[in-house]
Amino acid sequence: SAYEQFAACEDVVSGEKHYTDSSLEVLNITYPASIQSGDPFEVELELKASRSIVAPIVGMTINNVTAQVVVANNTLSERFVFSLPKGRTRIRVRYDHLSLARGMYYLSFVVSEKDMNNQLAALLNTHRFEVRTSVDDYGAGMYRLSPTWESAS
C-alpha cells in the first residue's frame, strides 16, 4: 500500500532541526520504534551537562508527518521539579496509553534553563516511530477516541 511504502522510505520529516548549547549534550534517546494504538509509550532522554543547569525544563512533543503537534507536555506545566546537575542525568516520560491514529509520528525535545525560551537543546522532529492499529481499523484523524454509537429508527 502507499502507506506502507511511505513508512518504509520516510526518514526525515520537513522541519527536522538539531541545536545544542555547549553546556548540554544529548547522549541518547530511547523509545519504541512501533506501538499499537492505546499501548503505553515511554521515552528516556539521557543528557550530559558540563555544568549544573538552574531550574531545568524539559519539553516533549509528538508530531505527525506534516510536523503538526498532536501531543505536547513539559515539566514546567506538569509541575515536575527535578535537578540537572553536572554530569549524566536520565529523564523518562511515560504515557499509560497513547491512543493515536495509525501513522508515522516524530518526537521533538527542548531542554531549557529557567524559562522555556532559554533553550539549551532543541531536537525537532528528530526521532520517528509508528503507531499501528488492527487491520479492520480504517479510521482517519490523529486521536483514537471511543465514542458511544446510537441508532434510532
Tens of pLDDT, residues 24-50: 999 899 999 999 998 999 999 999 999
Instruction: Look up residue 31 and give its DSSP letter.
Output: -
What type of residue is 110?
V
Residue 150 predicted with pLDDT over 90: no
Residue 59 predicted with pLDDT over 50: yes
Task: Report the distance separating Cα 99 and Cα 81, nearest Å.
Answer: 27
Virtual CA dihedral for 48, 13, 60, 62, nearest 10 degrees? -150
What pTM does this model have?
0.79
